[in-house]
């Protein structure tokens, strides 16, 4: 069953965040993940949520998503993202 990571990212240090953007795709692919959306245009249809930079990742399973998120490959990039942005992330189990 697929699992999705949905992120709302407010980039606060663009130069540092670029290091994250450059390094993270290979780590996602290594765990069977792929980008479903990456910073494209958003339009609020209902509610008051105003996402800054929306990212949606798809993984084959919750286990693979969590393995990627906690992986030694992603750990240093996660720290860069935390320093370069304010992020809100949720995991959603797919159908």
Annotation: CATH topology of 3-42+50-93: Alpha-Beta Plaits (3.30.70)
- Closest Cα partner for 5 from 76, 81, 83? 81
Are 61 and 92 in contact by the 8 Å Cβ rule? The answer is no
Would strands 85-93 and 53-59 be described as parallel, antiparallel, or unpaired? unpaired
Q: What is the mean pLDDT of each run of 10 residues along the chain (95 residues)?
A: 97 97 98 96 94 96 98 98 98 96
Sign of the alpha-carbon torsion through 10, 26, 71, 1: positive
Domain ranges of the chain: 3-42+50-93
**3-11 and 34-38 strand pairing:** unpaired
* Whole-Å CA distances, 90 to 9, 18, 22: 12, 22, 22
Q: Return the pLDDT at 56.
A: 98
Query: For position 17, what pLDDT does the model report?
Result: 97
pLDDT at 13: 98
If you ran DSSP here, which 8-state letter would residue 32 be given? Answer: T
């Amino acid at each position: 069953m697929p699992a999705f990571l949905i992120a709302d990212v407010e980039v606060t240090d663009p130069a540092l965040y670029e290091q994250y953007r450059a390094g993270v795709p290979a780590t996602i692919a290594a765990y069977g993940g792929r980008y479903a959306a990456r910073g494209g245009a958003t339009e609020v249809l209902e509610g008051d949520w105003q996402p800054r930079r929306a990212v949606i990742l798809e993984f084959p399973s919750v286990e693979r998503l969590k393995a990627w998120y906690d992986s030694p490959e992603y750990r240093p990039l996660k720290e860069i993202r935390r320093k370069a942005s304010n992020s809100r992330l949720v995991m959603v189990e797919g159908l």
